[in-house]
Structure 1
């Protein structure tokens, strides 16, 4: 990482830590811990195991982004996605660092570099497009809640948001060629210096993938399903903590949390930003702010439990080729 990039990340991290201190100070540490502990060991274990299902969905989104890969490799792609998220959430990298870790997890298992990085860019672009649809749904629902005084009868307006989300989905499926231009531009931003893949070669691979409309559409739909499953996991955690909310309300909240996290991409793990966002948005969907911030901490604990083993395994796989080379 270049020095001129480290300073903005360090400064952003300090801002994030300040936001975390502010959010925890507003809630109170003891009350926050009590709210998180309502989940219990069994509930937390269930939450972690269920989260592996989300990893499987996101792994499928990446798998279908690389046409020709057999279904039996979904475990490999899911592991690469888990390592990618672990690096984003736990290591002092920007989001690009996590992308590199995920791609190296695949190339380290013998997948071709150019195709792997092209599929990563396709997966990233479809993830971004599906997030737009999901965030649009959240904005519609949040706006309706604020206008109607947070009353439960506004649920039908959630269906309007859902309809717009489906419309965005259909538009993406039929406008894939413009997405190719976005993918090429994105590749120039996320392709690491050490990837040993030329941008021209990557452009060829991207063009080949985008000609396969069904593959890109499937990647989009799997990523969209991933956002919905992530919201369902949050709803599960809230129910286990004794604060059940309708799924559409949790989905609205989570869509905006994810959008804010994406905007704070310079801050490793969006530390502090996520907690402050939960604190500020919780009451708009009828959630106790204390429980909302506790949910954020539970999700971070889950990220540690799942991310650390994935990164350790990845590091072990990274060391194997170097050892083999040294023996010769």
Structure 2
């Protein structure tokens, strides 16, 4: 049922995206996509690679006891996670699983990988919430000055509230959920009790080092801002020069909408609708916004497909090794 739901949501998202592109004009959007050029596309991939290294560092920060030399393993695991989320037909949860498996294949013990993944996801959501609040503040000013506040601001605030609720639930429910899972595992799978207990111990050890958690939060915030700045650079290459703050605002809100719509694989349709509707408030035409959206999706495919293929190959080799 989940597979069929993912396919249905993807089909609906594609229909929405095509409707917005058709309404704007296929030729105009295609011209905008072509304007990025090979060199500009390479610059976008470079920004993505830099963000993945920073995200790997954030994950490493909440993995106490792991040497810095393992940064490459965490960056690779994060790349596998993002690649799976972007190009495979399931939601972010599948990407989390693949990212964890990639980290484990790097020689990091299972319990620490899963515990640090929970802490890393918490700090990432907290950093995104901070970035979103900046975007909401900027959008409130834009809506008030343009007279659109009464019609659009409630929807934006509602999305922010949902993101805050997700972040709070993820942060405060970690230990209760683990305790409940441990009790259930004790009844159904007695051999898993030790694993669940180790996971709780690892999580306690991570949060006993608040400085490392703060570092992870700051690295995630840097990654969010850098990713948005990459969109500003891409738009400049495409011939659309907007204030940096405007693009940061647009990107922060689109990141939020994609997170809230996590059940839709790749946020298909959500991202395109957001660019078409939010962009004009900050001087970005719908055609330019949709062109940027398509370029970003092309970049995700160009990075994600080779990463997922490489991960599949490494998994196959791991299965072929003698126990």
Whether these two folds match at TM > 0.5 is: yes
Instruction: Quote the Cα distance in structure 2 between the aligned partners of 1:117 and 1:31.
Output: 46
Does 2:300 match 1:309?
no
Give yes or no for the alignment of 1:223 onto 2:182.
no
Partners of 2:90 and 2:223 in 1: CA distance: 23
| Residue 186 (structure 1) shift | 7.2
Q: Aligned match of 1:181 in 168, 172, 178?
A: 172
- Indicate if the aligned counterparts of 1:23 and 1:279 stay in contact, CA closer than 8 A: yes
Residues 281 and 316 from structure 1, CA distance in 2 versus in 1: closer, same or farther, beyond 3 angstroms?
Answer: same
Higher alpha-carbon deviation: 234-243 or 71-80 = 71-80
Matching of residue 114 in structure 1 with residue 105 in structure 2: no
Structure 1 residue 319 corresponds to structure 2 residue 316: yes
TM-score by length of 2: 0.85
Q: How does 1:1-328 map to 2 (within 5 A)?
A: 3=1, 5-149=2-146, 181-184=172-175, 198-325=195-322
**Does the Cα contact within 8 Å between 1:145 and 1:284 map onto a contact in 2?**
yes
Whole-Å Cα distance in 2 between the matches of residues 189 and 269 of structure 1? 31
Kindly state the Cα deviation for residue 301 of structure 1 after the two structures are TM-superposed. Answer: 0.8
Structure 1 pair 50–189 and aligned structure 2 pair: CA distance change class (3 A): farther
SS at match of 1:136: helix
Partner Cα separation in structure 1 for residue 94 and residue 203 of structure 2: 21
Partners of 1:318 and 1:52 lie apart in 2 by: 22
Deviation for aligned residue 1:8: 2.9
Name the CA distance, whole Å, in 2 between partners of 1:186 and 1:257.
Answer: 30
Change in CA separation of 1:44 and 1:135 when aligned onto 2, cut-off 3 Å: same
* Partner in structure 1 of residue 154 of structure 2: none
Structure 1 residues 201 and 62: CA distance shift in structure 2, 3 A: same
Count of residue pairs the alignment pairs up:
295
TM-score normalized by the length of structure 1: 0.84
Unaligned runs of 5+ in 1: 151-176
Gap change, CA 1:34 and 1:187, over 3 Å in 2: farther
Change (3 A) 1:10 1:34: same
Q: CA RMSD in A?
A: 2.5
Change (3 A) 1:82 1:189: farther
The structural deviation recorded for 1:18 is 1.8
Note the C-alpha offset of 1:181. Answer: 3.1
Write the distance in 2 (CA, Å) between the matches of 1:179 and 1:238: 34
Q: Retained in 1: the 8 A contact 2:85–2:265?
A: yes
Q: CA, structure 1 residues 201+20, in 2 after alignment: closer, same or farther (shift >3 Å)?
A: same
Aligned mates of 1:178, 1:208 — CA distance in 2: 21
CA distance in structure 2 between the aligned counterparts of 1:315 and 1:78, rounded to whole angstroms: 17
